[in-house]
Amino acid sequence: MNKNRLVLIDAFALIHRAFHGLPPLTTSDGQLVNAVYGFTSALLSSIRNLDPEYLVCGFDLPGPTRHHEIFKEYKAHRPPTPDELSSQVPYVKDVLKTFNVPIISAEGYEGEDIIATVISSVKDKNIESIIVTGDMDTLQLIDEKTRVYSMARGINQAVMYDIAKVQERYGLLPDQFVDFKALKGDPSDNIPGVPGIGEKGASKLISENGNLEEIYKNIEKITEKYQTILKENKEQAFLSQKLSKISSDAPIDFNLSDAKVHNYDKEKVIELFNKLGFRSLISRLPDVHKPKPQPKLF
C-alpha cells in the first residue's frame, strides 16, 4: 500500500470506453456485461499498479448538468445512452461495493467534477492524488500533487501524465488546458471553440500569450490570420472556456477516512465474478491481508 496516495476512478469515462471498445460479452442468462468487464479489469489494474491507500469513484448521474444551464447544446449531438450500456451500470456499482470503494455523485455534476472536488478537499493534506480515466479533459487538474493515469489507449497502454508529460505532449502547462480547449473546441462535448483555430493554432496562441484573457488583451498584436476570427467569436470563446473548466465545488460530503482501502470479502467478490462470468479476473484479485494471530493471554 502506497501511503498517502489517493486514487480516483472516473467511472463513466472507463465504462463508455469499455462498452465501445470491447466485443459483446454476456452472462449465462444473456445480460450484456462487456462494459462491466472492462471497468473491472481497469479497477484491478489500478489497484495493482498504483497501490493506493485511499480509493474513491466519481459517478455521473442521469439528467442535465450545470453545463446545460449555460449552453443548452452541450453534448446535444450525442445519442441517448443505449439501454445496453445503462443496464450494466448497476453491475459496475455491485463490483465497487464488493470492494468497499465509495461511490460519490451529485445531481447536475459529472464524475470529473466529483473527482476535482474530492482533490480540492484534500489539498491541505499530505496526499498524492492520481486520477484514473480515459478522458483527457482531466489533464487540467494536474499539479505538483496530482497526476492522471490515462487509459485512453487501453489498460495495457496506460500513460501516467504529470506536469512534464503534459508539456512534452502538448507544449502547454496543465492549467492552460482549459483555454486551449476554449479555442480549439471539442466536438465530442459539442464545445464550439473558435472556428478556424485548430489544435496547432490554439497551442501556439496559448503558449505565446499565456491564457485567453491575455490573447484578447493583446488582440492587436495577434497575427492577422487569427485576429479577425478571434474578434468575431469572442463571446463564443469565453463560453467555451466556461464549458471546458471542470468544477471543484460539487455539493458532496466526503471524508478521506471513508476511502481508506481495507480488506474486502474475497469470497463475495468471487461469487459476483462467477455470476458475471469473469472467471479470468479471479486470479488478478488483490490479496486480503489477514490480521496476525494474537498471542494467547491465558
Distance CA 10, CA 114 (A): 9
What is the model's pLDDT at position 77? 60
My answer on whether 53 and 130 are in the same domain is yes
Do 17 and 76 have their domain in common? Answer: yes
Residue 134 sits in the same domain as residue 264: yes
pLDDT given for residue 191 in this prediction: 86
Query: Does residue 259 share a domain with residue 212?
Result: no
**44 & 145 share domain:** yes
The boundaries of the domain holding residue 202 are: 174-244
Q: Is residue 8 part of a domain?
A: yes
The residue to which cell 466556461 is assigned: 242
Task: Tell me how far CA of residue 18 lies from CA of 35, 52, 146, 160, in angstroms.
Answer: 5, 23, 25, 19
pLDDT in tens, the chain (298 residues): 667 999 999 999 999 999 999 999 999 999 999 999 999 999 999 999 999 999 999 998 877 777 666 666 655 566 677 899 999 999 999 999 999 999 999 999 999 999 999 999 999 999 999 999 988 899 999 999 999 999 877 666 889 999 999 999 888 999 999 999 999 998 877 888 999 998 999 999 999 999 999 999 999 999 888 999 999 999 999 999 999 999 999 999 999 999 999 878 999 999 999 999 999 999 999 886 544 444 444 3
Same domain, 148 and 278: yes
Q: Is residue 39 part of a domain?
A: yes
Cell numbers 470491447 correspond to what residue?
22
A 10 A CB-CB count for 136 gives: 18
Task: State how beta strands 128-133 and 52-58 pair.
Answer: unpaired
Binning the chain into helix, strand and coil, the percentages to the nearest 5 are 50, 15, 40
Buried b (16+ CB within 10 A) or exposed e, 275-290: ebbbeebeeebeeeee
Q: Are residues 48 and 133 in the same domain?
A: yes
* Domain identity same for 186 and 38: no
CATH of the domain at 232: 1.10.150.20
Report CA-CA distances (Å) from 127 to 48, 115, 142, 251, 265.
Answer: 19, 14, 14, 21, 27
Handedness of CA 194, 195, 196, 200 (dihedral sign): positive
Do 99 and 232 belong to one domain? Answer: no
- Domain tally, the chain: 2
pLDDT at residue 68 in the model: 60
> Same domain for 21 and 152?
yes
Please enumerate in sequence order all residues whose Cβ is within 8 A of that of 164, keeping only pairs 6 or more positions apart, or say none. none
Within-domain flag for 189: yes
Residue 24 belongs to some domain of the structure:
yes
- 288 lies in some domain: no
Q: Is the dihedral of CA 236, 238, 239, 243 positive or negative?
A: positive
Provide the whole-model pTM. Answer: 0.90
User: Which residues does 129 contact at the CB level (< 8 Å), separation at least 6?
Assistant: 5, 6, 7, 8, 119, 122, 145, 146, 147
Number of alpha carbons in the 13 Å side-chain half-sphere of residue 206: 27
Within-domain flag for 293: no
CATH code at position 21: 3.40.50.1010
Residues 38 and 159 in one domain: yes
pLDDT at 101: 95
| Of the residues 227, 244, 261, the one at which a domain ends | 244
Q: For residue 287, is it within any domain?
A: no
Q: Are 141 and 132 in contact (CB under 8 A)?
A: no
Distance, in Å, from the CA atom of 75 to the CA atom of 102, rounded to the nearest integer, reads 28
Whether 26 maps to a domain, the answer reads: yes
- Does one domain contain both 139 and 221? no
Q: How far apart are the first and last CA of the chain?
A: 34
